[in-house]
A and B are shown apart, each in its own frame.
Chain A
Amino acid sequence: MPTLSQYWFQKEFFGGPFDVYNVSYPDGGWAWISDGSKSAATLARVRPDNEVVIDVAPQLNTPAILTTIDGLLTGGASRKSGIMAQGIFWANVPYYSKNPTAHNRSDMLIRVYFDFEINTPWYCSNANGNIAYYLFLYLDGSGHLKGYVDGWSYNYSGGGPFCTGSINSALNNAVPSGMSPLQTILDNALSLLSGSTFSTLYYLPGSGTNSSGDHSENADTDVAIAVLP
């Protein structure tokens, strides 16, 4: 039986902490929904039984992938978090303004990111920030699920007063070089579905769970890819 998933975002649509309530939902059923708690946005979807869901963050936090990423970080930089993933609207991607027509404005990408720290010489403060890659997934003309690394970004605080230049130089070398191994990781993950074709692709906040009942998750740290035959 299909599942009705109701998402209640505490701060913003498709972002931050949220609650999801899943319940079996027969064809033609009614849903009466009200919310007495403070929520900034809601989202509801009837999810069919043949929905295929890929929870992204756990796929990325394998020892092999973490080792690959750690190997890219040089120059005193170190990873300070696991790998997180979130759905992000194209207009909110940092390089959107450089080429706005690269995607449709309503397109969503997956932001894969992690926190990092860079130790600096005595005359500068250490830098803390995050490194992000943006994945664009799509169905091709044959209905196969494909994707590519659309771009990258970094931002940090600290590094002053004299070290932002050297930090940027290190990151400008290291971060783009992560696109190739990430593409390989993405290709390997999507190859598991290469034998199937799909008609619909969408993202769900958090793990994409459809298990019955209440769940509290965070859309800033996980996102799920969902496809329908």
Chain B
Amino acid sequence: MTDTKLFDLVEALLKGEGFTHISKTHSAHSATMSAEKGANRLVMHITDQAELPYHSLQNENVPSPSEIKLSARMPGLSPDASGQILQRAGQGSTTGSGERAKHQR
């Protein structure tokens, strides 16, 4: 039995019992139906997997890498020193002590 058939059966049942404001929503992996009868509220939810609250995707329609001569890179880092990136980007360096004298010539 698909969730559509199940929802249709439950919706007919709820209407017969006097429930109103019946609403249904669907997503890729779930379906939800809610209804009200006076102060009573009902919700029915079916899902086949958890749906995480984040997603990301790379654009497939991008220029060829051969078109790119120069890109913006981590400042102060040579292009082949990629192994340092996460360490340097995430942790930074130690700081000195004493009064801050930002620049003297």
Q: Chain A residues in contact with chain B, CB under 8 A?
A: 4, 6, 9, 12-14, 21, 23, 25-26, 29-43, 45, 87, 89, 91-95, 98-99, 102-108, 121-123, 127, 129, 136-141, 143, 146, 148-159, 161-169, 171-172, 176, 179, 199-203, 225
Can you list 28 pairs linking A and B with CB atoms under 8 Å apart? Answer: A4-B103, A12-B92, A21-B103, A31-B104, A34-B97, A34-B100, A42-B93, A43-B75, A89-B85, A89-B86, A91-B86, A94-B56, A106-B73, A106-B81, A121-B34, A139-B71, A140-B69, A141-B67, A150-B62, A155-B55, A156-B53, A162-B32, A164-B51, A165-B27, A166-B27, A168-B55, A179-B59, A200-B70
Nearest opposing residue in chain B for A98, CB measure: B58
Report how many residues on chain B are interfacial, defined by Cβ distance under 8 Å: 58
B27 and A107: CB pair below 8 A?
no
* Closest CB pairs A-B (n = 4): A41-B92, A165-B27, A153-B56, A105-B82
Distance in Å: Cβ of B74 to nearest Cβ of chain A: 5
Provide the residues of chain B in CB contact with A38, threshold 8 Å: 95
**Complex Cα distance A127/B52, Å?**
12
Binding site secondary structure of chain B: loop
A162 and B82: CB pair below 8 A?
no
**Cross-chain contact of B102 among A33, A99, A140, A203 (Cβ < 8 A):** A33
Q: Chain B residues in contact with chain A, CB under 8 A?
A: 23, 25-30, 32, 34, 41, 43, 45, 47, 50-59, 62-63, 67-77, 79, 81-82, 85-86, 88-93, 95-105
